[in-house]
Amino acid sequence: MEKKKEFIINALYFIIIFALVYFGVNYVLGLVFPFILAFFFAYFAVRLSNKIFSDTKTIHRILTLILLYLLIVLLIVILVSTGISKLGDFIKTLPNFYKNTLEPYIGSLEMAIVNLGDNLPDSINQSLNNVTDGIFEGLKSLLSSLASGLVNITTSIITHAPEALVSIIVTVVSSFYMISDYENISNWFISSIPEKGHKLFYEIKDFFENVLIKIAGSYISIMFVTFIELLIGLSIIGIPNSPMWAIIIAMLDILPVLGVGTILIPWSISSIITGRFVLGLEILALYLIITVIRNVIEPKLVGTNLGLHPLATLISMIIGIRLFGAVGMFGLPLTLSFFSARSKKAQIS
- 237-288 pLDDT, tens digit each: 888 888 888 887 887 776 655 578 778 887 887 777 666 778 888 988 999 9
Looking at residue 57, what is its pLDDT? Answer: 85
Looking at residue 126, what is its pLDDT? Answer: 66
Looking at residue 257, what is its pLDDT? Answer: 53
- Residue 31 located in a structural domain: no
Instruction: Tell me: pLDDT of 345 over 70.
Output: no
- Residue 177 located in a structural domain: no
- Residue 313 located in a structural domain: yes
- Residue 267 located in a structural domain: yes
- Residue 325 located in a structural domain: yes
- Residue 268 located in a structural domain: yes
Q: How many domains would you assign to the chain?
A: 1
Instruction: Tell me: pLDDT of 127 over 70.
Output: no
- Average pLDDT rounded to a whole number, residues 135-141: 64
Report the candidate in 65, 30, 118, 121 with the shortest Cα–Cα distance to residue 327: 30
CA distances from 251 to 73, 173, 245 (A): 14, 26, 10
Range of 273's domain?
A: 198-349
DSSP, collapsed to helix, strand or coil, labels residue 248 as helix
Our measurement of the distance from residue 330's CA atom to the centroid of its chain's CA atoms, rounded to an integer in Å, reads 11
Angle of CA points 100, 102, 104, to nearest 5°:
65
How many angstroms separate the CA atoms of 297 and 19, rounded?
31
- Average pLDDT rounded to a whole number, residues 322-345: 74
How many angstroms separate the CA atoms of 109 and 124, rounded?
18
- Residue 33 located in a structural domain: no
> In which band, very low, low, confident or very high, does the pLDDT at 66 lie, cut at 50, 70 and 90?
very high
Say what the alpha-carbon torsion angle 185, 190, 191, 196 is, to the nearest 10 degrees: 170
- Residue 145 located in a structural domain: no
